[in-house]
Amino acid sequence: MTDRAVEDLLRTVAPQVLGLLVRRHGQFDRCEDAVQEALLAAATQWPEQGVPDNPRAWLLTVATRRLTDEWRSERARREREVAVAIREPAYAAVAPPADAEPPAEDDTLTLLFLCCHPALARSAQVALTLRAVGGLTTAQIARAHLVPEATMSQRIRRAKQRVEAAGATFTMPSAAERDERLRTVLQVLYLIFNEGYTASSGPDLHRAELTSEAIRLTRILHRLLPDDGEVAGLLALMLLTDAHRAARTGPDGELVPLAEQDRSRWDRAAIEEGIALVTAALTWSPPGPYQVQAAIAAVHAEAPSAERTDWAQILALYRLLARLAPNPMITLNQAVAVAMVDGPRAGLALLAPLDADERTAGHHRLAAVRAHLLELAGEPAAAREAYRAAARATTSRPEQRYLELRAARLAAPPDPTKEPR
Amino acid sequence: MKYMLLIWNRPGFAESLSESERTALFGEVDEIMKELTESGELVGGQALADPSQTRTVRLGGGRPEVTDGPFMESKEQFAGYLMVDCDSVERAVEIAQRWPDVRLGGALEVRPVMDEAGTEM
């Protein structure tokens, strides 16, 4: 087995082993540490000594040994402490027989819900999900987020403590909480996807892996909840977006906008899968925001070029999206569709109120869209100023580079054959 | 999102503090650093030597020229930085507000760090 295949196997089994362990012993924090240690042991031993016949049982045994070793040494230290007396029976007697355990995949779902506990800040939910469900090492997560390993290790430790302090148990949330928690899980997965959806060059390669990890986790979630239209919608949206990967950056790592991408380089297999998923979901599920966004991405994917895109359909979908999830960032995208259908002036009119909305005022995306529409409207000077404003407001280097380039192009002396004076 | 907190203060301002004030100052800094370490928000940070130890390199006579002393002649000088990774600019500002130099007449600049990630335009 290759190192890569071993890693894939480990990461599929990891949440199942953690689920079993927590179910038997409680103590999410310690069980998670024990599984992480078992994973590291496997990652070093398996490629050399071969993969055991039952990888899950192997990991479970090693992780359990770590836990009992720890408890034993602790008991030696604080022999008469009551805590140990309480903990011991929990380990010995309360553990259910193996055949009474629910299927391991249910544990993955429970685990995902636990990692997205509302007591945690978003960055903590992301880190914990990647480690406990994704089976990534702290070092990998730290590299992907460009922070020192010690910082990430501390963030994960704190997150686990918070989850325990909040009194969370390893059970599915109640029916009342479940929808809300699932929404959080989808937000966390989409955030991980977007964190990785970057100019995939040089030092960003580790980060780009987050995108495939988000897709992998969303696939698992879709397998566990096949009847949830929004889970299917999110998976479709990710696949349709990631299909642009090869085309969205140029040879020097510069961003290539959707309209200028070489569509022959789009990943057709991912597009087909995404379209099939969202089409099916929309037939049996009430439309939700992820499904509608996926549907918009599907219309783009089916268009042979930017000009020959069915903008009327995209606009109709944006109007639906704005009703389902009113949000000024959606209005921003809708303005582009309006401009393509009714002309740039109509699009610009839609942007005007966003200057007064604190969520978008001064945002680089607002300035960038305005710049684009002003350019279409034949106002190069105003467009140039808006591109420059957007370049100043963004905190992304590739975006800044792109926006400065657009501004510079408009600053070029007018071509006398096109603009006679 | 990463933010750099740039600490500006008057060089030598600590000289005018009593010993207990100085101890309290270091204690406050330690406490904030401990909190940021435990929360997993601290990415890094350094204090800089006194501005009198500075060399400044800039163009002079068509080539890089070295002079002694800081780039800017101003009462407040750049004294060090913290780098934090937190969920919002509000949180970064909250950390800056607690930094003791502010209370003692200095200032903190909270500046977003550029990201290598970029989304499709």
Mean pLDDT, residues A308-314 taken together: 95
Question: Can you give the pLDDT at residue A83?
Answer: 47
* Closest by CA position to A189, among listed A167, A170, A211, A169: A211
Residues 94-153, chain A: which have Cβ within 8 Å of B? Answer: 121-124, 127, 145-148, 150-153
Name the H helices within A168-310: 175-196, 205-224, 229-242, 268-284, 289-302
CA distance A353 to A335: 12
Tokens of A79: 């022999």
CA distance A192 to A207: 10
Which residues of chain B are at the A interface, by a Cβ-Cβ cutoff of 8 Å? 1-2, 37-44, 85-87, 112-121
ipTM of the complex: 0.84
| B83: β partners | B4, B44
Question: B2-112 domain in CATH 3.30.70.1060?
Answer: yes
Is the CB of residue A34 less than 8 Å from the CB of residue A131?
Answer: no
Q: Count the neighbouring beta carbons within 10 Å of the beta carbon of residue B115.
A: 20
CA distance A343 to B85: 42
Please tell me if residue A237 touches chain B, with a CB cutoff of 8 Å.
no
Q: Beta B42-47 vs B2-9: how paired, if at all?
A: unpaired
> For the segment A44-100, what is each residue's pLDDT rounded down to a tens digit?
888 888 889 899 999 999 999 998 888 887 777 766 544 444 444 333 333 444 445
> For the segment B51-80, what is each residue's pLDDT rounded down to a tens digit?
999 999 999 999 999 999 999 888 999 999
Chain B residues in contact with A152 by the CB 8 A cut-off are 40
**A82 Cβ neighbours under 8 A, 6+ residues apart:** none
Contact B114 A156 (CB under 8 A): no
| B9: β partners | B77
Q: Taking the CA of residue A137 as centre, how many other CA atoms within 13 Å lie in the half-sphere pointing to its CB?
A: 15
Is the CB of residue A283 less than 8 Å from the CB of residue A260?
Answer: no
Q: Which residue of A122, A127, A395 is in closest CB contact with B115?
A: A395
Question: Can you give the pLDDT at residue A277?
Answer: 97
Chain B residues in contact with A155 by the CB 8 A cut-off are 39-41
CA distance A120 to A159: 6
Residues 200-219, chain A: which have Cβ within 8 Å of B? Answer: 202-204, 207
CA distance A54 to B120: 44
Please name the residue of chain B whose CA is at the shortest distance from the CA of residue A155: B40
> For the segment A96-149, what is each residue's pLDDT rounded down to a tens digit?
444 455 566 678 899 999 999 999 999 999 999 999 999 999 998 998 888 999
Is the CB of residue A406 less than 8 Å from the CB of residue A371?
Answer: yes
Contact B120 A257 (CB under 8 A): yes
Question: Can you give the pLDDT at residue A93?
Answer: 36
Q: Beta B2-9 vs B77-85: how paired, if at all?
A: antiparallel
* Closest by CA position to A155, among listed A118, A125, A112: A125
Chain A residues in contact with B114 by the CB 8 A cut-off are 395-397, 400
DSSP code, position A103: P
Q: CA A174, A177, A183, A189 torsion: positive or negative?
A: negative
* Closest by CA position to A155, among listed A108, A130, A109, A123: A123
| A249: β partners | A255
